[in-house]
Amino acid sequence: MSYPTHHTVLLTLLYCLCFHTLKGQSYTNTCISKEDHKLIFLINEIRSKQDLPVLQYAQGLTYVAQTHLADLNLNHVPEGPCLPYSWYQVEGVTNCCIEASKPDWSCVISKPHELIDYPAKGFEVVLSLHEENMNAQEVIHQLKTSSQAMTMVLNQKNWSAIEWKSIGLSIGEKYAILWFSNYQETAQKIIICEESTSSIAP
């Protein structure tokens, strides 16, 4: 099974929690923006039209997405050799440069376990954003232009043998990150970030 190499899309997000959370630390207060919430709904709407089960919101995967987003905002150089699936300076995990010529996807799928003791592997889509202040509906429109991203969302081709049960995401000015897993977390209330919430990333 292989990962897609690159995708493109856009949006803005309010982040929560502190960066550099150590493995095992609680993430139960993780919040998402209203547009993030809407994007989860829209992704499930797309899946439902393909007779695929609705994905449960995963607070843990969302925390992993927010942490990676913060790391990319601080450290990723788009012109450099590393793809945005790379992890640079996150405390408590194995940081790695994911190169297109020889990607080590094991470094990616292990991150939920490394960060929060997640009991299953996670699979990530990183979208590089090129516009500003897009809403969830416009992000979906651009997401549909990436066939590689959509095959993961819809469990097609290389992803057909896996049944996604949960989703976590984080959408910012430069990147949008989606995490999928076949593990279903205990149902948790979705917490919407307040406008005054401090960002976990610059």
Domain with residue 164: its CATH number is 3.40.33.10
11 in a structural domain: no
7 in a structural domain: no
Strands 56-57 and 166-171: parallel
pLDDT at 23: 54
pLDDT at 187: 80
pLDDT at 22: 45
Total count of domains within the chain: 1
pLDDT at 152: 95
200 in a structural domain: no
pLDDT at 128: 83
Task: Encode the chain (202 residues) as per-residue pLDDT tens digits.
Answer: 455 444 433 232 323 333 334 454 568 889 999 999 999 999 999 999 999 999 999 999 999 999 999 999 999 999 999 999 999 999 989 999 999 999 999 999 999 999 999 999 999 999 887 777 667 877 787 789 899 999 999 999 999 999 999 999 988 888 889 999 999 988 888 999 986 543 454 4
59 Cβ contact partners less than 8 Å away, ≥ 6 residues apart: 27, 28, 30, 168, 185, 188
Could you give the residue ranges of the DSSP H alpha helices within the chain? 34-49, 59-75, 106-109, 111-116, 136-143, 147-153
Residue in the structure block whose two tokens are 């987003």: 69
Domain that holds residue 135: 34-181
129 in a structural domain: yes
197 in a structural domain: no
86 in a structural domain: yes
pLDDT at 79: 94
193 in a structural domain: no
28 in a structural domain: no
Task: Give me the DSSP letters along 113-161.
Answer: HHHH--SS--EEEEEE--SSS--HHHHHHHHTT-HHHHHHHTT-GGGTT
